[in-house]
């Protein structure tokens, strides 16, 4: 969960090209979606930046486990339904024509059994002919040594530095974030730990197939990396 960093999330991701990513989502929907509707939900919506662009093309909703992220998204997207909840317990009253899980957020389900359950729940929430788009977290073959990266950003009255340490622990990809935030009120330092499951290409394909989805593997997904697209039969 990223509750403490929610307020600075957008500042650290200001260079991200959301418009291009949304154009790729729209292109995938045009290519694969067979349902007639335009209802879309972004699972792991964060602060709602994708939804901000997507609502031009779709009737949008969002879901995130982090209340801080949802609070920021709600301020950005008045009137848009936003839900606080987990992928693994997805239980919403509506069905959707497009279901998104982007930027490797599927890794937060952690375990293979949860991956299978989550994809089944996504499929159950899709209209016939609707699509499920999932961008995976890093596959096993990309696991390497401990990596350390840094990022800095600043805005009116604020400067932020973030150091990320990434390593494999007990079969999971574990990310340690250390933040240093400087404002007129002083300096704050805090840390976060994120644990994501590492799933193979075969595990993703099996999860989609077992959920009854017609499965396609796109080498260039919304974020530019690979993505899985499942079509509800």
Residues 70 and 149 grouped into a single domain: no
| pTM score, whole prediction | 0.96
CA within 13 Å, CB half, 38: 8
Same domain, 64 and 148: no
Model pLDDT for residues 215-227, shown as the tens digit of each residue = 999 999 999 999 9
Q: Is the pLDDT of residue 1 over 60?
A: no
Provide the CATH number for the domain around residue 114. 3.40.50.150
Q: Are residues 191 and 205 in the same domain?
A: no
**Which residues 6+ apart lie within 8 Å of 53 measured at CB?**
18, 19, 22
Percent pLDDT > 70 in the chain is 99
Q: For the residues 206-219, what does the mean pLDDT come to?
A: 98
- Domains held by the chain: number: 2
pLDDT of residue 143: 79
Please determine, for residue 70, whether its predicted confidence score (pLDDT) is greater than 90: yes
pLDDT in tens, 108-145: 999 999 999 999 999 999 999 999 999 999 988 887 77
pLDDT at residue 14 tops 90: yes
Q: Are residues 162 and 209 in the same domain?
A: no
Same domain? 176 vs 102: no
Same domain, 36 and 100: yes
The contacts of residue 223 (CB under 8 Å, 6+ apart) are 21, 102, 103, 135
Give CA–CA dist 153/124, Å, rounded: 40
- Whether 209 and 145 map to the same domain: the answer is no
Range of the domain at 185: 140-197
Q: Looking at the structure, do residues 165 and 132 belong to the same domain, yes or no?
A: no
Confidence of residue 231 (pLDDT cuts 50, 70, 90): very high
pLDDT at 4 over 80: no
- Report pLDDT for 2: 54
Could you tell me how far CA 185 lies from the centroid of its own chain?
32
Query: Closest Cα partner for 99 from 44, 43, 51?
Result: 43
**Does 24 lie in the same domain as 65?**
yes
Give the strands of the sheet with 186-197, arranged side by side.
Answer: 147-155, 158-169, 172-183, 186-197
Supply the pLDDT for residue 90: 97
> Residues 24, 92: one domain?
yes
Whether residues 162 and 51 fall in one domain: no
Q: What is the pLDDT of residues 36-61, one digit of tens each?
A: 999 999 999 999 999 999 999 999 99
Q: Are residues 121 and 18 in the same domain?
A: yes
Mean pLDDT of the chain: 95
- CATH number of the domain enclosing 160: 2.20.130.10
Give the dihedral sign, CA 105/182/18/73: positive
Question: Of 140, 137, 129, nearest to 230 (Cα)?
Answer: 129
Under the banding of pLDDT at 50, 70 and 90, the label for residue 5 is confident
């Amino acid at each position: 969960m990223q509750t403490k960093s929610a307020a600075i999330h957008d500042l650290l991701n200001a260079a991200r090209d959301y418009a291009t990513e949304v154009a790729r989502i729209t292109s995938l929907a045009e290519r694969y979606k067979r349902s007639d509707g335009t209802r879309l939900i972004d699972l792991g919506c964060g602060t709602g930046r994708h939804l901000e662009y997507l609502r031009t093309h779709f009737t949008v909703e969002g879901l995130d486990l982090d209340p801080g992220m949802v609070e920021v998204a709600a301020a950005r997207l008045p009137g848009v339904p936003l839900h606080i909840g987990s992928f693994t317990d997805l239980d919403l009253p509506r069905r959707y024509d497009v279901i998104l899980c982007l930027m490797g957020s599927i890794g937060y389900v952690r375990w293979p059994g949860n991956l299978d359950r989550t994809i089944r729940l996504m499929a159950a929430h899709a209209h016939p002919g609707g699509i499920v788009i999932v961008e995976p977290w890093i596959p096993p073959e990309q696991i390497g040594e401990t990596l350390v990266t840094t990022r800095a950003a600043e805005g009116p009255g604020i400067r932020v530095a973030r150091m990320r340490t990434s390593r494999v622990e007990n079969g999971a990809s574990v990310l340690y974030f250390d933040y240093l935030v400087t404002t007129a009120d002083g300096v704050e330092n805090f840390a976060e730990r994120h644990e994501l499951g590492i799933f193979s290409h075969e595990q993703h394909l099996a999860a989609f197939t077992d959920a009854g989805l017609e499965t396609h593997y796109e080498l260039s997904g919304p974020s530019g990396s690979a993505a899985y697209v499942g079509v509800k039969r």
